[in-house]
Structure 1
Amino acid sequence: MELPQLVARFLETQNTYNSEAYTACFTGNAIVHDEGKTHTGREEIRQWIEDANEKYKSVMKPLAYEESGSKGVLTAEVSGTFPGSPIVLKFHMGLKDGLIDSLRVTG
């Protein structure tokens, strides 16, 4: 599957648990909504992804990607050390200046 460079980098950094490179995919004041919590700015996003990586050891396999204007939706099979693994999740991205400005993860 052909993915935009940013989305491919987002997947690669998640799958290699590189939280610094993962965080660099986001704008400085990006907002992430996941598991009923909001994380704002790169530092909070870095802490969130490090905690999630340690807890769940998640790996994402892209299934589909759609982009329209400044919004993109990545559908991925996510597997890890969590109940119900693997599951299919949607990653709703707001895009700005070649980076992710917002991310909302839904089931």
Structure 2
Amino acid sequence: MNLPKVISALVKAQNEFDSTAYANCFAETAIVHDEGKVHTGRTEIEHWIAESNEKYRSTMKPLGFQENGTSGILSAEVSGTFPGSPLTLKFHFNIVDGFIQSLKVTD
């Protein structure tokens, strides 16, 4: 599967539970929508993913990627210490200048 460099870096950071490397995939002013909450800016995103890693220990296995200009949807099997694991989730990205500008996680 041919993933954009920043998405490959994000998956690697997630699977290594590296919240700093994960956050560095995002633009300074990026926005993440997950579990009914909004996280704005790289620092807030780093805190969110660090808490999520601590709570769920989630890993991602990419299943498919659809790209349309600066937008893309990654389908991934997500496994961790949460009810219903593993789940297939969709990660809706907007990527500009090699950084993620926005991410929305849906099922």
Q: Distance in 2 between matches of 1:11 and 1:87?
A: 16
Q: Distance in 2 between matches of 1:40 and 1:22?
A: 14
Q: Which amino acid is 2:27 matched to? A: T
Q: Which runs of 5+ in 1 are unaligned?
A: none
Matched, 1:60 2:64: no
Q: Taking structure 1 as the reference length, what is the TM-score of the superposition?
A: 0.98
Question: Root-mean-square deviation (CA), in Å?
Answer: 0.6
Hey, which bits of structure 1, 4+ residues long, moved more than 2 A?
A: none
Q: Distance in 1 between matches of 2:6 and 2:68?
A: 15
Q: Which amino acid is 1:58 matched to? A: S
Residue of structure 2 in register with 1:21 after alignment: 21
Aligned length: 107
Q: Distance in 2 between matches of 1:8 and 1:66?
A: 14
1:1-107 equivalent positions in 2, closer than 5 A: 1-107=1-107
Q: Taking structure 2 as the reference length, what is the TM-score of the superposition?
A: 0.98
